[in-house]
Amino acid sequence: MAGVGCGEVVFEDLFPAMVESLGTEGFMKELCDGFRLLAEEEKGVITFESLKKKSSALLGLPAMSDEEVRCMLKEGDMDGDGCLNKMEFCVLMFRLSPDLMNKSRLWLFAPDRSSH
């Protein structure tokens, strides 16, 4: 994933197009759905094991190396527990999208397009 500190996995940033298409509420719902897909049901967080196992199986991504998974978790883990909760995951996804970071303030205060 571009911008994840340790190594660099390249991905196409489709988030801005998703926001334009789904509106802010729809996009946030998609992010939450993505979190639920990757999280361990019992713990309610994304762990090393769940990300390693589910990233390629559920998302069709190439298998990430152990180092890439650890780097991604470390980059997003704000409370130091070694896992990503929903808020940490969403913040990380925004940070990985330079265009979203630049436009997020505009989207935060703009009317939701999905209601039109």
Name beta bridge partners: 40: 45
Q: What is the pTM of this model?
A: 0.72
Query: SS3 for 112?
Result: coil
Give dist(CA 88, CA 13) in Å, integer: 19
pLDDT of 33? 93
Return per-residue pLDDT of the chain as tens, 116 residues.
444 445 555 555 778 888 889 988 999 999 999 999 999 999 999 999 998 888 766 666 677 788 988 998 999 999 999 999 999 999 898 888 877 766 666 656 666 544 44
Secondary element (H or E) of residue 32:
helix 15-38
